[in-house]
Amino acid sequence: MDLRAELLKSIWYAFTALDVEKSGKVSKSQLKVLSHNLYTVLCIPHDPVALEEHFRDDDDGPVSSQGYMPYLNKYILDKVEEGAFVKENFDELCWTLTAKKNYKPDRNGNSVISHQDAFKLWCLFNFLSEDKYPLVMVPDEVEYLLKKICTAMNVELNSCELDDYLSQEPQGQGGLTVWQFLDMVNSGRFLKGIEQEAISMAVEEVYQEVIEDVLKQVRSPHILVHKLCPAPTCFDLRVSRVQGYLWKKGQLRRNWSERWFMLKPSALSYYMSEERKEKKGSITLDKNCCVEVLPDRDGKRCMFCVKTLSRTYEMSASDTRQRQEWTLAIQTAIRLQAEGKKSLHKDLKQKRREQREQREQRKAAKEEETQRLKQLQEEKERKLQELELLKEAQRQAEILLQEEEQRRRQQHEEMQRTLEIQLREAERARASMQAEMVLKEAEAERQRKRILELEEMQERLQEALQQEVKARQDEEAVRYAQARLLAEEEEKLKQLMKLKEEQEEYIIKTQREKQVLKQEMENKNKCLEEAQKQLEEVRVNRQRVDQDVMAAQRKLRQASTNVKHWNVQMNRLMHPIGPGDKRTNVSGGVFAGYQPLLSRRDSSLK
């Protein structure tokens, strides 16, 4: 059932609620208000020009549903985008319009369900009703919905009592209307001795599962479940077996936190608490995801994980059964995503509808076969009646023949021969009729054998059909397992190729670094060799300089020796010329001019 069909069902209730005179027509002013409200709740941009143009008051009379449908399709339904509006607000608008007129709970406050529960049951009724107007829900779907509500409370539905109620309740179009269904629930006939709070929580759970596509959620330990007993005072109040929330391991701090989980076909969301006010995150599910059971560790038991392409989420359940329920539910959501199905219950509803159609077809075929057998039986009875009439006629003919024979005995012989001829003809007719009767009985026996063969063939066909269904289920399970193994193998192959590429890049990088290091070593070796050569040259130059210094020192020592020697000689020469003052002055003046030169020479030699 697509989005347009779902919206049309709720709008149909709103339209019929506005039809006060039940004439199939609604005034334009009311339709204008309804259209404006639909624009608002469906988050569609308002088109006041088209609204005024379509509902202008230039003609007389209200508008029928056929007259309203073109505007509804063109300006509202064609512009609706799935996910752009809150479906619950839209349903509440239509429920408010129709409940005010049609829903009549107990005025004394003894209703089994609250007004909000009635709204949710109305939504469930719309989802499960047939796609025919006026909307009705067939008895099979009524039983299915009541069983789900009772299962949520651990209560067993009395199917026999439900069949009796449905047989007594007048049904139009082959099912119950929503108001008949709500009256049946409010009567308390099937929910005796159960508190209204428990019924509300059960209705909420079924509503989330069917309407909001919540595949699995852990029940709160404070939810009370009821067991139906013969007397109202005998039902048992006990805590649900499921132990609270699931534990989830963090990604950054790697600590364990208790979270409230809720599973939908497209995502596994987790919240801070069961009120779902603070959403902590969501795990998007697709065909590439998988669920695996993990061994106990880190002080946690009953662990499992959900693997996506980007991350692995580790969780811990309270017991093994709860872990199995969660893993199966998540695998179901992944399978729905792989098959391209958005809602599990839409698929289940379609399958139930197909099964009902098949049952009706088999029932029609069986009725046709029964009718044919009945016709054959009537034909046989007619033939038997004709045979009885012929026998009676034969008996009467024999009596007449006997009487005639007595009379004819008194007549002449010619009359007697004529009677004998007629008697022989009658006997031949009798033999012919007997032969025909034998043929009819043989034909009837063949028909009985044929009926038995058909029944046996029908049983074999049913067995073959069951075997084929089982084989298809086994094939689907094997195919799903094979697909999962192929996905895991592909993932491992991708990781191996990635590691291989990283190894090759690392090898190339290492080779490049090795070449660079080798070249640097060669350059350093060359520089070292040049430095050694320069060091050798420096050493040779140093030795040469040392030799020059030593030679210069020897020359200096020799020069110093020579200077001392000349000083001695000069001193010697200076002393003998002393007697004459004049010569002495001249000599002193001459050698005095040599003294600075000699001192400078000595300093330079030093």
Q: What residues does each domain of the chain span?
A: 1-102, 243-341
**CATH, domain 1-102, list 1.10.287, 1.20.120, 1.10.238, 1.10.3470:** 1.10.238
The Cα diameter of the chain in Å comes to 246
Q: What contacts 14, CB < 8 A, 6 or more positions away?
A: 34, 93, 94, 97, 98
Integer-rounded Cα Rg, in Å, for the chain is 57
Q: How would DSSP label each residue in 135-178?
A: --B-HHHHHHHHHHHHHHTT----HHHHHHHHHHS--BTTBB-H
For residue 109, what pLDDT is reported? 59
Classified as helix, coil or strand, 89 is: helix
Query: For residue 181, how many other CB atoms are within 10 A of its CB?
Result: 24
Q: What is the mean pLDDT of each run of 10 residues along the chain (606 residues)?
A: 81 85 81 86 82 65 73 85 84 89 73 86 88 84 86 82 77 78 81 80 85 60 36 28 66 85 84 84 89 88 91 90 88 83 71 80 86 88 90 90 82 79 89 90 90 90 89 88 88 90 90 89 88 88 88 87 83 64 44 50 52
Task: Please provide the size of the chain in residues.
Answer: 606
Question: CA of 47: how far to CAs of 37, 75, 81, 172, in Å?
Answer: 12, 8, 17, 39
For residue 451, what pLDDT is reported? 92
Say how far apart CA 523 and CA 525 lie, in whole Å.
Answer: 5
Say how far apart CA 52 and CA 75 lie, in whole Å.
Answer: 12
Say how far apart CA 201 and CA 203 lie, in whole Å.
Answer: 5
Q: What contacts 330, CB < 8 A, 6 or more positions away?
A: 215, 216, 263, 268, 285, 291, 306
Residue 347 phi, psi dihedral angles, 5° rounding: -65, -40
For residue 570, what pLDDT is reported? 76
For residue 178, what pLDDT is reported? 87
- Torsion on CA atoms 100, 106, 112, 117, rounded to nearest 10: 10
Beta bridge partners of 270: 261, 281
Residue 41 phi, psi dihedral angles, 5° rounding: -70, -25
Positive or negative torsion for Cα 526, 528, 529, 531: positive
Strand-strand pairing, 256-263 and 246-249: antiparallel
Residue 509 phi, psi dihedral angles, 5° rounding: -65, -40
CB 314 within 8 A of CB 302: no
Residue with tokens 């007259």: 67
For residue 35, what pLDDT is reported? 86
Classified as helix, coil or strand, 304 is: strand
Q: Which numeric CATH code is attached to 243-341?
A: 2.30.29.30
**Token pair belonging to 382:** 């007619």
HEC sequence for 508-546 = HHHHHHHHHHHHHHHHHHHHHHHHHHHHHHHHHHHHHHH
Strand-strand pairing, 303-307 and 290-294: antiparallel
For residue 226, what pLDDT is reported? 39
Say how far apart CA 177 and CA 296 lie, in whole Å.
Answer: 52
Say how far apart CA 204 and CA 68 lie, in whole Å.
Answer: 34
Say how far apart CA 346 and CA 6 lie, in whole Å.
Answer: 11
The closest of 296, 154, 160 to 238, measured between CA atoms, is 154
**Token pair belonging to 368:** 């046709």
**Token pair belonging to 143:** 């039983």
The closest of 150, 283, 294 to 215, measured between CA atoms, is 283
pTM more than 0.75: no
Exposed, middle or buried, 253 (CB in 10 Å: 0-12/13-18/19+)? Answer: exposed
For residue 585, what pLDDT is reported? 44
